[in-house]
Structures are given as structure tokens and as C-alpha cells.
């Protein structure tokens, strides 16, 4: 039997009416619970801009040699090391600011090689790590290594990494600011529910976020941006308060 159009409208109206009643009842229950609970938990946050006060930079050089020329290859690497050291010193890098690693060797695997030579070849690698509190000096150094290439060094440069050394002390002060922020938020929520905010009963600090200046991208596990000189340190805290 076909259902009339009017009957369908009546059924839809009944369903909408029941849904509205259930939604109203649920909202009332949530509001009653919010008013009746004896405590309130709120998350607060605090940010502060900082400037990196330490920079690290890595450069490396390489030589490809055959098995028969390994001795000559190591001699070339040693010559390259002397040139790199002299270059860094000319740029104001002291011996304490540079750390040169040992020579490493990797075999060169030739895939789909049709050349008649079967002699094994190796890449010899060596690197230097430079660390300094002069951030601008490291930034300039990383951009100006052409002189090494001009002297025959097969040199590659990495990106500088920038750090803030007083992060532990800053975290302590930011925790206090974050708690005050949480208290201000909690006070507004309590007032809206007809309550007064009581004593702080619990506080748990969140992870530290070291972000590029102006960034809003955070991680649940914390983050530490090393690519920017200008940074923002952010911390969150979950605070619990009594309600009266």
C-alpha cells in the first residue's frame, strides 16, 4: 500500500521533534555536570621569542680511488684536510671550535657497468664539525667555501644548525607563565558557570616546542627547530583548580 505524502511529512516531523528533545536534554545534562563538578582542568600556554646563541656546521670532502691507488688516495685526503684546516683558520675558526673526524672508506658498486675494467674502487670521506657561539660567523662560513673548491678540494657543505643554550632556564619561567594563563582561562569558564575559582590542585607541564618565529606547527612529542636563528619557545601546562 502506498504511503501518502502527508503521512511522510508527519513521520519526519515526529523524528525531528524527538531529536530536538534528546539534544536539549543532553545539553542540559552537560551544563548541569559542569556546574556541579568540584574541580576544573584547563590547559594554559606561554611563548617567548629567543635568538640562537650557538651554531653548528658540517663540511666534508671526498676522493675516489682504485685499490692500487689507496695509498695515494689517503695522501690526497690528508692534503685536503690541511687545506680545510687552513681555510677555517683564515675565517676566524679556532682549533677549539673545529673537530675533524677520521677517514672512512666505502666501496663503489657499479651496477650495469659495461666498461672492461674490473678494478675495485673506493670513496674516501672525511668531515669537519664546526661549533661556535658566533652565529653570524658560522652562517657566513657555510655560504663561502668556494675557495676550497678552487684549491682542488672536492668539498660539500651542510646547512648550519642553530641552538639556544638557555632552554632549561627558560622552560622554568615559561611554566609559571603558562599556569597563570591557565588560571585566567579557568576563571572565565568558572564565572560563566556561576562558580568561583579556588586553589590550584594539580599542574602537569607539557612538552617543549622550539619553533621558527611565527610558526604555529606543533608536535605532540615536542619539536626543536634547528634551521632558524630567530625562534619561539612554547610550553603548555595542564592545571586543575578547585571550584567553589
The number of distinct structural domains making up the chain is 2
Least confident of 32-36, 140-144, 161-165, 214-218: 32-36
Residues for the chain: how many in total? 244
| Cα angle, residue 79 at apex, residues 77 and 82 outer, rounded to 5° | 110
Residues 158 and 131 grouped into a single domain: yes
Average pLDDT score over residue span 227-236: 96
User: Beta strand 121-132 with 161-163: parallel, antiparallel or unpaired?
Assistant: unpaired
pLDDT band at 3 (very low <50, low <70, confident <90, very high): low
Q: pLDDT over 90 for what percent of the chain?
A: 72
Could you list the residue range(s) of the whole structural domain that residue 231 is in? 36-51+165-243
Residues 85 and 154 grouped into a single domain: yes
Q: What is the pLDDT of residues 51-92, one digit of tens each?
A: 999 999 999 999 999 999 999 999 999 999 999 999 999 999
- CB 139 within 8 Å of CB 55: yes
Query: Is there a domain that residue 79 lies in?
Result: yes
Residues 178 and 235 grouped into a single domain: yes
pLDDT band at 42 (very low <50, low <70, confident <90, very high): very high
Beta-bridge partners for 127: 60
Domain of residue 174, CATH code: 3.30.110.170
Q: What is the pLDDT of residues 9-26, one digit of tens each?
A: 455 444 544 454 444 444
Query: Is there a domain that residue 21 lies in?
Result: no
Q: 37 or 215, which is more confident? A: 215
pLDDT of residue 244: 87
Domain of residue 133, CATH code: 3.30.70
Residues 42 and 131 grouped into a single domain: no
Residues 106 and 191 grouped into a single domain: no
| Cα angle, residue 122 at apex, residues 117 and 126 outer, rounded to 5° | 155
d(CA 182, CA 191): 14
Query: Is there a domain that residue 42 lies in?
Result: yes
- CB 181 within 8 Å of CB 196: no
Domain C-terminal end among 163, 183, 200: 163
DSSP string covering 70-129: HHHHHHHHHHHHHHHHHHHHHTT--GGGEEEPPPEEEEE--SS---S----EEEEEEEEE
Q: 113 or 132, which is more confident? A: 132
Domain C-terminal end among 163, 198, 230: 163
φ/ψ of residue 156, rounded to 5: -125, 145
Q: How far lies 36's CA from each of 28, 64, 174, 180, 212, in Å?
A: 12, 76, 32, 24, 43
Single pTM value for the model: 0.76
Residues 191 and 149 grouped into a single domain: no
Residue 36 C-alpha cell reads as 556541579
Query: Is there a domain that residue 4 lies in?
Result: no
Amino acid at each position: 500500500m502506498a504511503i501518502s505524502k502527508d503521512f511522510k511529512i508527519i513521520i519526519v516531523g515526529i523524528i525531528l521533534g524527538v531529536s530536538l528533545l534528546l539534544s536539549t536534554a543532553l545539553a542540559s545534562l552537560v551544563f548541569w555536570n559542569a556546574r556541579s563538578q568540584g574541580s576544573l582542568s584547563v590547559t594554559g600556554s606561554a611563548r617567548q621569542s629567543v635568538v640562537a646563541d650557538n651554531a653548528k656546521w658540517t663540511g666534508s670532502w671526498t676522493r675516489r680511488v682504485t685499490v692500487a691507488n689507496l695509498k695515494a688516495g689517503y695522501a690526497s685526503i690528508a692534503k685536503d684536510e690541511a687545506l680545510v684546516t687552513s681555510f677555517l683558520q683564515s675565517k676566524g675558526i679556532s682549533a677549539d671550535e673545529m673537530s675533524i673526524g677520521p677517514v672512512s672508506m666505502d666501496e663503489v658498486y657499479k651496477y650495469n657497468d659495461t666498461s672492461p675494467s674490473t678494478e675495485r674502487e673506493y670513496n674516501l670521506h672525511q668531515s669537519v664539525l664546526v661549533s661556535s657561539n658566533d652565529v653570524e660567523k658560522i652562517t657566513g662560513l657555510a655560504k663561502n667555501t668556494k675557495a676550497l673548491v678552487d684549491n682542488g678540494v672536492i668539498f660539500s657543505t651542510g646547512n648550519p644548525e642553530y641552538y639556544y643554550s638557555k632552554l632549561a632556564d627558560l622552560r622554568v619561567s615559561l611554566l609559571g607563565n603558562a599556569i597563570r594563563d591557565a588560571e585566567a582561562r579557568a576563571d572565565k569558564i568558572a564565572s560563566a558557570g556561576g562558580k568561583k575559582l579556588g586553589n590550584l590542585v594539580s599542574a602537569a607541564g607539557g612538552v617543549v616546542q622550539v619553533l621558527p618565529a611565527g610558526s604555529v606547527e606543533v608536535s605532540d612529542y615536542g619539536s626543536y627547530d634547528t634551521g632558524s636563528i630567530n625562534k619561539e619557545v612554547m610550553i603548555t601546562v595542564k592545571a586543575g583548580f578547585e571550584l567553589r
